[in-house]
Structure 1
Amino acid sequence: MALQTHHEEMQPAALGELERETSALDKHGYLFGQKITHSLSPFLHQVIYENLGLRWGQVRLDSCDMQLFLRLVRHPDFYGASVTMPNKVAILPHLDRMTDECRSVGACNTLFLQPDPADPSGQRRLLCGANTDVIGIRDSFLRNVADPARVYHGKPALVIGGGGAARSAIYALARWMRAADIYLVNRDAAEVADMMRDCAARGYGDGLVHVATEEQARELPAAGAIVACVPDFEPRTEEEKLARCITEIFLSKQPQPQQDQEGGEGGRGGDMAPRTKGAMLEMCYNPTPFTALGALAERHDWQVILGTEALIWQGLEQDRYWTGRPVEDLPVDKVKEAIAASVAQRSQSRL
Structure 2
Amino acid sequence: MASNSPILEKSNFEELRTKKFTFRLFGLHIGHSKSPLLQNYLFEKLGLSWRYELYESSDIDAFKKVLQGEDCIGSAVTMPNKVVMAEHVDFVDNDAKAVGAINTIYTRKEKDTGKTLYIGTNTDTYGIRDSFLYNAPEVVKKSRDSNNPGLVYGGGGACRSAVYALNEFLGCSKVYVINRFAEEVEAVREGMVKGGFKGEIIHVSSPEQAVSLEKPSMIVCTVPDFAPSTEEEKTARATLEVFIGSQERGAVLEMCYHPKPLTRLYNEFKASNWQVIGGMEAMIYQGFAQQSLWTGYSLDEMPVKDVIEYVYKNANN
Normalised by the size of structure 2, how large is the TM-score? 0.89
User: C-alpha displacement at 1:326, in angstroms?
Assistant: 1.0
1:208 alignment counterpart: 201
The 5-angstrom pairing of residues 98-117 of structure 1 reads: 98-117=92-111
Q: Is the 8 A contact 1:152 1:223 kept in 2?
A: no
- Structure 1 unpaired stretches of 5+: 1-24, 256-276, 347-351
1:227, 1:282 within 8 Å by CA — same for their partners in 2? yes
Distance in 2 between residues matched to 1:38 and 1:86, nearest whole Å: 15
Query: What is aligned with 1:246?
Result: 239
SS in 1 for 2:48: coil
Q: Secondary structure at the match of 2:306?
A: helix
Q: Which stretch of the first structure deviates more once superposed, 148-157 or 91-100?
A: 148-157
Given that 1:214 and 1:249 are in contact with CA atoms closer than 8 Å, whether structure 2 keeps it comes out as yes
- Asked whether 1:135 is paired with 2:107, we answer no
How far apart, CA to CA, are the structure 2 residues paired with 1:38 and 1:69?
20
Secondary structure in 2 matching 1:209: strand
Tell me which residue corresponds to 1:27.
21
Residue 87 in structure 1 maps to residue 87 in structure 2: no
Change (3 A) 1:191 1:205: farther
Q: Is the 8 A contact 2:207 2:240 kept in 1?
A: no
Is contact 2:143–2:218 with CA below 8 Å preserved after alignment?
yes
After superposition, give the CA deviation of every residue in 1:295-347 in whole Å (9 maximum; x if it has no partner). Answer: 1111111110111111111100100011111111122122101221134x36x
Cα deviation, 1:4-44, whole Å, max 9, x if unaligned, reads xxxxxxxxxxxxxxxxxxxxx92101100011000011111
Matched, 1:321 2:293: yes
Whole-Å separation in 2 of the counterparts to 1:283 and 1:300: 18
CA distance in 2, matches of 1:28, 1:300: 45
| Alpha-carbon contact 1:99-1:129 (below 8 Å) kept | yes
Structure 2: distance between partners of 1:341 and 1:240: 34
272, 289, 292: which one pairs with 1:300? 272
8 Å contact 1:232–1:284 — kept in the other structure? yes
RMSD in angstroms over aligned alpha carbons? 1.6
Partner Cα separation in structure 1 for residue 179 and residue 100 of structure 2: 20
- Tell whether the 8 Å contact from 1:47 to 1:334 is kept in structure 2 after alignment: no
| Counterpart among 92, 96, 101 of residue 90 in structure 2 | 96
Q: 2:47 aligns with which of 43, 47, 53?
A: 53
Q: Which residue of 1 aligns with 2:64?
A: 70
Which secondary structure does the structure 1 equivalent of 2:73 belong to? strand
Per-residue CA deviations over 1:71-124 (Å, capped at 9, x if unaligned) read 1111111121110011111111211122221122221100001123344xx5x4
Q: Which runs of 5+ in 2 are unaligned?
A: 1-18
After superposition, the Cα gap between the structure-2 partners of 1:201 and 1:303, relative to the gap in structure 1 and judged at 3 Å, is same
Q: 1:149 aligns with which of 130, 141, 145?
A: 141
Q: Contact 1:151/1:279 (CA < 8 Å) preserved in 2?
A: no
Following the alignment from structure 2 to structure 1, what is the Cα–Cα distance between the partners of residues 208 and 293?
46
Letter in 1 for 2:162: A
Q: After the TM superposition, which residues 148-167 of structure 1 pair with which residues of structure 2 at under 5 Å, given as runs? A: 148-151=140-143, 153=145, 154-167=147-160
- By how many angstroms is 1:285 displaced? 1.4
- Alpha-carbon distance in structure 2 between the residues aligned to 1:171 and 1:229: 13
Aligned to 2:106, what secondary structure does the other structure show? strand
Residue 219 of structure 2 corresponds to which residue in structure 1?
A: 226
| Aligned residues of 1:181 and 1:209 also touching (Cα < 8 A) | yes
In 2, Cα distance between equivalents of 1:207 and 1:301: 28
C-alpha contact 2:98 2:194 (8 A) present in aligned 1: no
Look up the match of 2:7: none
1:281 corresponds to 2:281: no
Residue of structure 2 in register with 1:217 after alignment? 210
AA partner of residue 94 (structure 1)? H
Provide the aligned length of Structure 1 versus Structure 2: 297
Give the distance between the partners of 1:305 and 1:152, measured in 2 at CA: 19
Answer yes or no: is the 8 Å Cα contact 1:197–1:205 preserved in 2: no
